[in-house]
Amino acid sequence: MITKYKPKASSARAASSQRTRKTYTRGRYAGAKISAPKAAAKEVFHKDKLRVIVLGGLEEVGRNMTLIEYNKEIIIIDMGLQFPEEDMYGIDYIIPNISYLEDKADWIKGAIITHGHMDHIGGIPHIIGKIGNPPMFTGKLTAGLIRKRCEEHRACPNLNISEIDESSVAQLGKSFKVEFLRVNHSIPDSFAIIIHTPIGTVIHTGDFKIDYSPVNDKPADLNRIAQIGGQEVLLMMSDSTDSTHPGYQISESSIGDEMDRIFEKISGRIIIGTFASQLSRIQKLFDLARKHNRKVYLQGRSMNDNVDIAHKIGYLKFNPGILIRDADLRRLPDEKIMILGTGAQGESNAFLVRVVTGAHRTVSLKKGDTVIFSSSVIPGNERSIQNLKDQVVRQGAHIIHYQMMDVHAGGHAKQEDLKLMMRLLKPKFFMPIEGSHYMLQAHADLAEQVGIPLENIFVPDNGQVVELSIAKNQTKIDSKAGFGTVKIKDSQTGRIILVNGELTKEKIAADYVMVDGLGVGDVSNIVLRDRRVMAEDGMIVVIATIDSKTGDIIGNPDIISRGFVYMKENRELIEKTRMKVKNLVREHKGTSRADDDFIKNKIRNDVGQFLFSKTKRRPMVLPVVIKV
């Protein structure tokens, strides 16, 4: 199938941008706006320079979004979310900052989504309408998952999605001809992106691993990858998630073989926790359930949604009769049941956590159950997962996890696979993406090992601009840190030209935009700091009532403590705090009404210092002055 797309007239796109660049007026995100600079930034035109800008995914795992820009034309790769860190209290997730794009809707010629994981599609409902709802290109399964996610967000416009496969070609604007390379990952329909530009070919690998026997997918086409490398690749951007792990990634098929042996030995119920997006794993589990005559009880909204979408379009193959409902769970013997759900990372509202805490409506653990954690530990979740495991064994169930047996295969290439991909593609410039800085640097070291010169390897931060341009001096080859010159064949003329690559000092806004309930971007770092203070040291409210005529304090100040001290057991401290407030007010008796803020600040500072001297803790002090 050949997919071709010609953008609409820029005036129509601009009008569309004006229509969609509004405050949400209905639905879950009513009144919410993306937190970005409100004043339109002055457009700067970098003539004949290929600019690569990553808005998320260079300093974290998640929030992936990359821009490729040339002569007032932009294509976007992925629009993902990042799950909050432990100290981001109350935050649901984080999305990229798109302020750079908000006045460039007519520049955007298309968005390409590499695959259907949330760190690549999760930001779409919040972003796509703000940038003029450009055409989107992605695989069939990914398109289904995106449409499902947008159904949950009323502010998401009707999407213009073109479904692609490995034979598709899309012409986006004048500058970009895009082809697609199917790669293996933990979800079907994953693609690397081949972008032909006026300067040279750019490869974005997306998330990938090299799997010679994948489940429900074709193995990586190494011949085509080598052919692309033979045609010269100017810049390669490559997945760094497992760049710190030596060796090769194991095949998903081998996980199925290990699971098969486990199933043969288990007589009770089998409860499996995995990611809802691990559709290759889920397919293998359905196959094993059929082989061992077990029925499958699906749990978790995302698990049910993903299985339903993948089954409808033919990416999951199973007889619907294998699925059971609540009544069947109580009726069938334990050896006939497999329960499949989410929560292997210890997420608070996921299926496994609700089971072990007794909050699940139909499933509770019992002696004889076997719980399989079929996923690796995401960094930062270690404590939550350990607590979950402790509760599982306390209730008499057995545990099997990936460190005991091969019950999980990662979806990302390890070091030897990464080096193989670089050797096949032979890029002139290399840029690691999708990982923390430590992972990017480890990947950069691998690139140097396979022979890519250090000056041609760029390790930017989020928002830092990489520029590629034809050298003005076609006889001089420069090489210094962050700047390199390479020889490459011009695809149009066939002659050898020199191209400069530079990791510039230019940096655009790429800070966090946080989604918190109904709000998108209305939680700042200051709000998070206040939440951290309240979580760590609590808060204390001081209410002082003052006679507006005399300035005398009326009665004793009221003290309310939350998360600081238990007032009944700390009466002496509370009474001393009251006296401190009374003395402060008396000292400023007779001040004008304009000095109310001064009194509040004095109470806040002096009471805060007093409480710290007594407790070595700094609660948030909230003074309230009432004049009667």
Alpha helices (H) in 497-595, listed in sequence order = 525-537, 571-587
Query: Residue written as tokens 């997730």?
Result: 93
Nearest C-alpha neighbor of 431 from the set 590, 240, 582? 240
HSE-up of 372 (CA within 13 Å, CB side)?
Answer: 26
Residue 510 near residue 463 (C-beta atoms within 8 A): yes
Determine which one of 239, 242, 417, 516 is catalytic.
239
Q: Which of 204, 401, 412, 443 is catalytic?
A: 412
Q: How far is CA 268 from the centre of its chain?
A: 37
Q: Is 239 a catalytic residue?
A: yes
**Bridge partner residues of 201 (DSSP):** 196
The number of residues in the chain equals: 628
Residue 151, classified by CB atoms within 10 Å of its CB into exposed (0-12), middle (13-18) or buried (19+), is exposed
**Which stretches does DSSP call E strand in 434-562?**
464-470, 479-480, 483-489, 496-507, 513-516, 519-520, 539-546, 558-562
- Sole residue written with tokens 């409210």: 541
- Burial per residue of 496-523, b for 16 or more beta-carbon CB atoms within 10 angstroms, e otherwise: eebbbbbbeeeebbbbbbbbbeebbbbb
Coil, strand or helix: which one is 215? coil
Tally of CA atoms within 13 A in the half-sphere of 323 that contains its CB:
14
Q: Both tokens of residue 425?
A: 């593609």
Q: What are phi and psi of 6, to 5 degrees?
A: -115, 120
Amino acid at 260: D
Q: Which two tokens stand for residue 330?
A: 């109580």
The burial of 258, by beta-carbon neighbours within 10 Å (0-12 exposed, 13-18 middle, 19 or more buried), is given as middle
Burial 602-614 (b: 16+ CB within 10 A, else e): bbeebbeebbeee
- Number of C-beta neighbours around residue 243 at 10 A: 26
> Are 618 and 608 a contacting pair, CB within 8 Å?
yes
- Residues carrying an active site annotation: 239, 412
